[in-house]
Amino acid sequence: MTGKGILNEEIVDVLKIQNIRVKITHKFMDKNRLLDIYFKLVSDDLKDNIPIDM
Q: What is residue 1's three-state secondary structure?
A: coil
Has residue 53 been placed in a domain?
no
| Domain count for the chain | 1
Q: What is the pLDDT of residues 1-54, one digit of tens each?
A: 455 555 667 667 777 777 766 666 556 556 666 677 777 777 665 655 555 554
Q: Check if the beta carbon of residue 15 is closer than 8 Å to that of residue 7.
A: no
With DSSP H G I counted as helix, E B as strand and the rest as coil, what are the percentages for the chain, rounded to 5?
A: 75, 0, 25
User: Model-level pTM greater than 0.75?
Assistant: no
Has residue 54 been placed in a domain?
no
| Residue 41: domain span | 3-47
* Separation of alpha carbons 22 and 35, rounded Å: 9
